[in-house]
Chain A
Amino acid sequence: MIRKIFLCVSILLFTSSYIEAQQTITGTVSDDSGGPLPGVAVVIKNTSNGAITDFDGNYSIEVNPGNVLVFSYIGMATQEKIFNSQRTIDVTLMPDASELSEVIVVGYGTSTRKKLTGSVSVINSESLEMMPSASFQNALQGAAPGLQVNASDGAPGAGFSIRVRGTGSINASNDPLYVVDGIPITSGSVSQTDFGNQERSSNVLASLNPNDIESLVVLKDAASTAIYGSRGANGVVMITTKSGKSGKPSVNIKSRVGISSFAYNNLLKPLNTEQYRELFYEAYENRGRSVERADNDFNSFSPINPETGTYYDTNWIDEMTQSGVTQEVDASVSGGNEKMKYYISGNYFNQDGVVINNVFKRYSTRANFSINLSNRIKFTNNFSFSKFKQRGITDGTLWEAPFYAAILLPPTIPVYDNNGRFYAEHQGIMGASNPVGSLYDNVRDLKQQRVLESFDISYEFIDGLTFKSSWNFDLLTVDEFIYLNGRYGAARNARGRGNVANTSDFNWLGTQSLNYVTHIGENHNLSLFAAYEAQEFERNIIELQAEQFAHPDLTALSIAASPTLAETRSTEYAFNSYFARLNYDYNNTYYLSGSIRRDGSSRFGAEKRWGTFWSIGGGYNISNESFLEDSDVVDLLKLRASYGITGNASIEDFESPALWSFRNRDYINNPGGSQTQASNPLLTWESQSNFNVGLDFSLFNSRIDGSVEYFERVSSDLLLDRKLSLTTGIEEITENTGDMQNTGVEVSLGLDIVKTQDVDVSVNGNITFIDNEITYLPSPIVDGSKRRAEGHDFQEYYLFQWAGVDPENGDPLWYTDETKTTTTNNRREVERFYDGKSATPDFFGGFGLNIRYKRISLGANFNYQFGNYLYNNPGWIIHSEGRFIPRSTSVYAFENRWTTPGQDAIFPRYRAGGNRTSNHRPSSRYLYEGDFIRLKTLSLRYDLPSDILERLEISSLQVYVDLDNVWTWVADKNLPFDPEQTSSGAYNTVTPITKTYSLGVSVGF
């Protein structure tokens, strides 16, 4: 029905003709480079009469002598001209230097800082150029208030964990929606294997070349995200790629090379043989075993090095690491004229990780065109192709996870055997894992190819009314290959195991929209937007596995004798949406905006398929009032507020119906099945109400610039798995229950301290305070080290509480209950409780300093996070005081263990088989303060002077030195891993974050 109305409206508008003017003046509006400016509003002051320039910058308008014409255009300084008797008035609009009128890309349109009623952060796109990271997400770190951005793994090409204004959901996704040139694209990990790493280590967004990004904007509140309806709840990251500008072709070539090593100095170190031997004998003695037996057992797995006549002494960390190298070359050409503009680029990015054979290599190209077919018809086409290849490593507690095995494997085990092959004779220890050998003999490859294509055509029926049809396509294929060698490690019993997983996604989105901009009278500015959108997504996966490989040098599955898995899987979803938006302002002083979107999704139950999302926002530009209009101090003082409802539809595609499943339920080659899901026809999206109030200010000619905002995000109808009695045969049912709230304050401030021709000094900073609370939850959910419960932070830890080591006998001690008054060494007498510690930071943000002296500039950017706690997931194994002997442990544990009565120690007595009173369940023994400050980038740049440039016949040349992550401060001096972990605070033996020293050059022709 709505569609039909839409169609009728379109046709009506289409066929209407425009009003003829009887007396006209004509003219052309151009920009400072002489190019025509289409879309400029030409209004007769104090009247409602106006016109808009066409694609050649021409306008015509009826006027009387003495009328004042006002020419205004986004991003340009407004000009006024008096009509006397001229036949033509040509105007050249100059760019408005002030960032107040800088164009900001928002959902389905653009705005400016002056006009916005919602909360929007703009990321400095310069920071996107030539980063030592494959993904643009790196540039979001510390860059804007409200954004908590952590690299979830330090390996090349790995993912990021990004939260916009906190965690809004328990079970649905908390990742923001990413929109590239209008298309909501697949983000996160689509890998079937992710190298075994639970979506930390692969990142589909690494396909985008950050150098191609013109603008990176984060939409945070309902006024800005409600136009994305059921997908706006986690915030929206708007990415707009570069387009050409009128003028002669401009060529830009950039090149950079960098060297990396670990950023954090206090990482766990493995024991050497002397330390390990001491600990081993001590462990046996503490167990009451004889020295003879210790000798016998120690020698059984510790060979003698024939060259030295003594034990080997392997430092596994040293053996598996190297200096990482990052190289990048980027070339682009852009230019155009009034009929056509273009931007073409190519990029090569290669990163050799700090771990041997941990590599990310990307090739990407982009071609963006826009063509003005006539005054009123415009085509644009943005196309990009990229391919990357990632060779990854595994993490967690898999025996071959390098940062796990390197600590646990005894140093007496050599890297190579007497035949020069990787040593594999320690069959009884961690499956004869060899973390160095695995980097060579095992393969974990991921190849991704992605085509992003958006095509749109717009037609301006009458002045101010534009129809636009956009078609967007996202084609994504991910080919994975995993091979585990048949001699040692996980596949040693299978004579090698190979896995192939091919994932192909096809995602299309079509948006048909009408946009109408008009001016009523002198002071009423109105724009209306309405659209219909359809989206369809399909994913097909082929996965194969085989074992028993004929030859260790060959890894093709065709030479494996035993196929063990052959699967095809597919899934799909569809969305159908109608939406509209209104923006109104009175005299650029009072602003009002409203948006509404109606979304239908195949993911939801038949009875709850459609939902409506909306927002309303208002702004009051106080600085436009007469009493401030001429102020020398205040450039902008604006109060704004918004409220609205958005949704979170990021759940599995088929969670609503009762289902029988058959996958992996076969038995002796006969198909079997089981009922795995109960029906919930009422299943629908999570909804979120968002309140935002903010004050923007700009003082002393923008020398002081900033915003203060307060927000309340209230999530309700949270999707929760309600546990059923296990006797029903079904574990849980997904339902919309549960409420959660995030409230916070964001402050950002920039100061231009010195601003002269030769010297600039500026500082900037932002801070976000956030408070998360689960406000309704029918029953608590224990999830590993945390427990979700009403009245608590979503990320609050719920642990057995460590009371240290008994100085008398070295026993582990525990607090019995939350009064923390009684300690015990009997783990049956202890209970878990909350201790007010959470993985959610109290506050986080970034700050920076920029100094320029003539052509030399120095920039420093820091990011920080305070008040959060980090949990060492494998701590109970790595620091288990002998439970897993003959596995080794860290130097930190070795040096701080209890050995003699009366000693205050951090680690209990080391005993073969472990202490009886050790508690292997989640405990505060493995919890650390997460506060840190990191110097994210420190860069020194030099622009060559123009006389040299002229001699070289180039237009610009910059050389620079960049230092990334070179300095890190942590509050907890005992923290044994990098402070930067995923937002869940869990450490899982991922690759530590690296620091990079790089040298670069950028040339423009």
Chain B
Amino acid sequence: MKKINHILLVVIMVFATSCSSDFLDREPSEQIRDEKFLSTLIDYQTAVVGVHNQLQNSNTYGRYFVLVPDVMGEDVKQADDANRGKEWAEYEGDFTHFIPENIWREFYEAINITNQVINSDKYEPIPDDQAAYDQAVGQAHALRALIYFDLVRMYAQPYNYTSDASHMGVPIVTEHNIEGLPSRNTVSEVYDQIIDDFNTGIALMTLEEKQYYMSRQAAQALLSRVYLYKEDYRRAIDLATAVIDDGSYELAEGDDYLRQFLKGESDEAIFEIAYNTTDNPGSDHLGGMYKATGYGDYFPSQDLLDLITDGDIRKTTVDKDPEVPSMFLIDKDGDIRVNKYPSFDATIYTDAIPVIRLSEVYLNRAEARAKASGADRDEAGAQADLNMIRKRGLATAPDVTAIGDALIAEILIERRIELCFEGHRIFDVNRNRQDVVRDDCTSNICTITYPNDRFILPIPDGETDVNPNITQNPGY
């Protein structure tokens, strides 16, 4: 009996020692605590990649941010069973719809990453790492600028909507504060922030980058676009010229034209969102909205097809698709589908989605030169820029001879042909004070006139429900 007592005594002691003081301290295996992150250069670079990943998201450049501006215009029409984004094509969306919320949420998540990178004081670079550190911080600045520009395009009327751009823009958040309930800054203030960030980024970035990362040249090209929207034509021209003269980029010719979207990393791309098989989002890729093998919700309209001359290289961005059952056919021109994102088989849904290409920089400069006043006005230069793009499309195309408003009109039509399905249309319509007129119209609404409250998206209820300081856009 006594022996057993002893054994049990030992057993109890062993059992009772199962608990040490750190028994309840556990660490997650897939996440890092905030206080430990952004304390090395690699952390900075990881965070910057994280911002790019946000842009690759199907709610931002991956799909909806690019799709919606196009379906709101006249160059894209929808199938009978279109489901994703149809409300915006028909101008029937409201602030409870998921698209305004998803774009808003994902872009602001990206902004939070850039803010954390820009503001972190947990790391001081050693001299050897200074350039890489500056590059990462510069990228964060330029990416923040791009995202604020995209937000202010999407959720606010264009810069020229009021004479001093004092109308509502989007909230500028540059510090991480989870209890923040910011109100909307004016469009003018948002543009100041954008220009400031781009300039800081341009100054900091000195290293070469692949086209699928933010780079100094990308920041210059995008800032040129910002100035065009702002109607500061001299600066738009200067920055466009800087990118064109940089010599890093060349317009794609022949088969390379379509390949720039299919494969990415072309000489024409300045900044693009790339995909590979690991990043493949399946049918949720922008291309899935157009492909018969994807959701197949949207088609090129006859209005657009009529603008493109046969033989023009841009005609390859639309294509007959024998896979389309005839019930999806477009009444006039048969089974024409968008072919700008032409991937198929093993690499399907890995097409690059352009953020900015050299051809746009030419068109931006052409427009700025044609619209500028005084010494900056350069119609010959504008014609030359337009010819670059038009003759790249079709070598036999006639020289541009138009001047004045006719020249501007031709440049804007060229933008439709060159930049279709890349998410430009409604922004170009709105900032040029144009109407949307759909002749080949599958929507319930075929003419939408400027000025229009519904050329921009509502502030989502996910924001307005929580943030009492935010004002909804009129008309929603």
Contact = CB atoms under 8 A, between A and B. Distances in A.
Contacts of A885: 80-81
Contact of A7 (B13, B23, B110): B13
A460 to B, nearest CB: 11
A130 to B, nearest CB: 40
Interface stretch (B160-168, B176-184, B401-409): B176-184
Contact of B54 (A493, A670, A674, A724): A674
A729 B278 contact: no
10 contacts: A14-B12, A547-B277, A561-B346, A601-B24, A672-B47, A673-B46, A674-B47, A674-B53, A675-B112, A827-B92
B31 A729 contact: no
Interface stretch (A346-354, A633-641, A653-661, A765-773): A653-661
Interface in B167-214: 171, 173, 176-182, 212
A483 interface: no
B285 to A, nearest CB: 10
Interface in B18-54: 18-19, 23-26, 28-35, 37, 43, 46-54
Nearest to A459: B8
B16 A512 contact: yes
B50 A377 contact: no
Interface in A152-188: none
A710 interface: no
Interface stretch (B101-109, B127-135, B305-313, B379-387): B101-109
A665 B18 contact: no
Interface string A1-43: 0010011001100110000000000000000000000000000
Given A660-B37, A727-B467, A570 B29 contact: yes
Given A493-B293, A561-B346, A665-B53, A534 B19 contact: yes
Contacts of B109: 674, 729-730
B444 A495 contact: no
Interface stretch (B64-72, B250-258, B322-330, B418-426): B322-330
A667 B463 contact: no
Contact of A574 (B9, B26, B35, B327): B26
Nearest to A679: B34
Nearest to B81: A884
Scoring A426, A431, A532, A674 by chain B CB atoms within 10 A of each residue's CB, the highest score goes to: A674
B56 interface: yes
Contacts of B323: 427-428
- How many chain A residues sit at the interface, stated as a range, is 35 or more
A157 to B, nearest CB: 29
Given A512-B12, A576-B19, A661 B30 contact: yes
Given A570-B30, A654-B28, A667-B56, 10 more contacts: A297-B326, A298-B327, A457-B11, A493-B294, A512-B16, A666-B53, A726-B104, A727-B111, A885-B80, A887-B81
Contacts of B31: 654, 659-662, 676-677
A494 B348 CA distance: 8
Nearest to A606: B25
A659 B28 contact: yes
A726 B178 contact: no
Interface in B41-99: 43, 46-54, 56, 80-81, 83, 92, 94, 96
Contacts of B439: none
A562 B113 contact: no
B296 A671 contact: no
Nearest to A287: B80
Contacts of B466: 723-726, 779
Nearest to B35: A658
B322 to A, nearest CB: 10
Contact of A672 (B53, B105, B274, B346): B53
B128 to A, nearest CB: 21
A886 B16 CA distance: 69
A377 B326 contact: no
Given A573-B26, A728-B177, A887-B81, A297 B327 contact: yes
A510 B15 contact: yes
Contacts of B345: 493, 495
A653 B34 contact: no
B326 A728 contact: no
A784 to B, nearest CB: 12
B238 interface: no
B24 A576 contact: yes
Given A374-B4, A562-B346, A726-B105, A667 B325 contact: no
Contacts of B5: 14-15
B324 A428 contact: yes
Given A374-B4, A726-B105, A428 B328 contact: yes
B62 to A, nearest CB: 11
B276 interface: yes
Contacts of B51: 672
B437 interface: no
Contact of A576 (B23, B29, B56, B173): B23
Contact of A727 (B116, B180, B328): B180
A503 to B, nearest CB: 14
Contacts of A510: 15, 18
A300 B35 CA distance: 61
A921 interface: yes
A345 interface: no
Nearest to B324: A428
A675 B52 contact: no
Nearest to B115: A729
A669 interface: yes
A921 to B, nearest CB: 7
A1002 interface: no
A733 interface: yes
B197 to A, nearest CB: 16
Contacts of A561: 346
B33 A659 contact: yes
B180 to A, nearest CB: 6
A729 B108 contact: yes
Nearest to B112: A729
Contacts of B277: 547, 562, 564
Contacts of B37: 660, 673, 675
Contact of A668 (B115, B276, B282): B276
Contacts of A725: 180-182, 463, 466-467, 470
A427 B181 contact: no
A358 to B, nearest CB: 26
A296 interface: yes
B460 interface: yes
B181 A673 contact: no
B176 A672 contact: no
A548 interface: yes
A654 to B, nearest CB: 4
B279 interface: yes
A654 B11 CA distance: 34
Nearest to B104: A726
Interface in B344-358: 344-346, 348-349
A601 B26 CA distance: 10
A660 B462 contact: no
B463 A726 contact: yes
A564 B96 CA distance: 34
Given A7-B16, A562-B346, A569-B30, A301 B467 contact: no
B280 interface: yes
Contacts of B13: 7
A662 B12 CA distance: 44
Nearest to A678: B178
What 7 pairs between A and B have smallest CB-CB spacing?
A729-B112, A297-B327, A672-B49, A672-B50, A658-B34, A300-B326, A659-B31
Interface in B268-290: 274-280, 282-283
A574 B24 contact: yes
Given A666-B53, A723-B466, A675 B8 contact: no
A883 interface: yes
Interface string B323-341: 1111110000000000000
B280 A564 contact: yes
Contacts of B80: 885, 912-913
